[in-house]
Amino acid sequence: MKLTALRRRLDLTTPFRVSFGEISGMDVVAVALEGGGVVGRGEACPMPMFGHTAEAVQNELALIAPDIESGAVDRLELQTRLSAGPARNALDCAFWDHEAKRTGRSIWELTGLTAPAHLASDVTIGIETPEESARLAATHRHAGMIKLKLGGPDDMACVRAVRAVLPTTRLFVDVNGGWTLEQLNALAPELAALDVFMIEQPLPRGQDEQLDGYTGPVPLCADESCQDRADLDRLESRYAYVNIKLDKTGGLTEALALAREAEARGMRLMVGCMMGSGLAMAPAYLVGTLCEVVDLDVSLLLKNPADAAVRHDGRRLSLFDRAVWG
Phi first, then psi, for residue 319 (nearest 5°) are: -55, 130
Selection from 210, 217, 176 nearest residue 196 by Cα: 217
Phi first, then psi, for residue 54 (nearest 5°) are: -60, -40
Please list, in sequence order, all residues whose beta carbon lies within 8 angstroms of the beta carbon of residue 197, skipping any fewer than 6 positions away.
170, 171, 172, 218, 219
- Which residue of the set 2, 101, 147, 149 is catalytic? 149
CA atoms of 78 and 73, how far apart (whole Å): 6
CA atoms of 54 and 46, how far apart (whole Å): 6
Q: Are 72 and 17 in contact, with CB atoms under 8 Å apart?
A: no
How do beta strands 118-120 and 123-125 pair?
unpaired
- Which residue of the set 101, 147, 245, 248 is catalytic? 245
CA atoms of 101 and 326, how far apart (whole Å): 7
Tell me whether residue 303 is one of the annotated catalytic residues. no
Residue 148: its H or E element: strand 145-149
Tell me whether residue 147 is one of the annotated catalytic residues. no
List, by residue number, the catalytic residues.
149, 245
